[in-house]
Amino acid sequence: NLFFEDGGTSLVLILLTWTVVLPLADRFSLDALRRDAAQSTLKARVAARAEAQKPLVTLAGLAILLQAALIYWLNAAHKNGGTWRGGDAVHLVLWQHRVNTPFAHWLALHEPTWFSPLATWLTKRTEFVLPVLLLWPTHPKQTRSLAFVLAVLLHGGIALTLTLGPFSYAMICLLWLAVPGEALDSVLGALRRAPRAPDWRLARLRARAVRALRRWRLGARGSRLPPAVQGRLVTLREAVLVYMVFV
């Protein structure tokens, strides 16, 4: 059964189990939007939003941290074979045609000699560091935010090279739950304070980008890529073009 072939499905079930006891519907749901829109006055709406933004203290939060830390620690602890010690693990994974992506197939044919040892070393060290960052008792804003960034880089690379179902995306969602609210508020505050270019300047940049995308072709170097990769690049160009034209 391909549905249960990898751990991605089990991870989704674990994620759903822990989030059942979290009040996610109070913020991230259609019901939350309806309640907010149904407030009779602006004062009531501001009060309701302030109430929803209060920190939540629950054992489920600790359970999610322990769950994520355990997943990474066990994965790192099991990477003790000769291929992991010798730096060949990533190289061999790129040749697993049953699960690799077209990008992984292309990378396997063009990877430099230093790539697999470096990627193998970084993968294992990252999985050892993530539990420490998640469970570090002080400065959770910095340590868990760094853990989330490392997880996005790790699982983003896995998703680009391996078709493991929902595993990579579920792990990113699991680590997203560990990011403190203060870190998210800091990012949003920085975005609000960032100087914005005038609308006419943004419109000019978008028009130039649209013209460049319309003229873009794969060229001689792109024609050497596998057909599946070429198709994905063209599809990506069209998607970006549609977004820039209509949004």
Cα separation values, 162 from 104, 209, 220, 247, Å: 7, 31, 27, 31
Burial class for 11, CB neighbours closer than 10 Å (0-12, 13-18, 19+): buried
CB 192 within 8 A of CB 34: no
Quick one: pLDDT at residue 130? 95
Residue 55 has pLDDT above 90, yes or no: no
CA distance 32 to 41: 16
Asked if pLDDT for residue 2 goes beyond 70, the answer is no
What is the percent of the chain with per-residue pLDDT over 90, rounded to a whole number?
25
- In this prediction, residue 242 carries a pLDDT of 64
Q: For residues 60 and 18, is the Cβ–Cβ distance under 8 A? A: yes
Higher local confidence (pLDDT), 232 or 151: 151
Q: What is the residue-averaged pLDDT of the chain? A: 81
CB 163 within 8 A of CB 100: yes
pTM above 0.85, yes or no: no
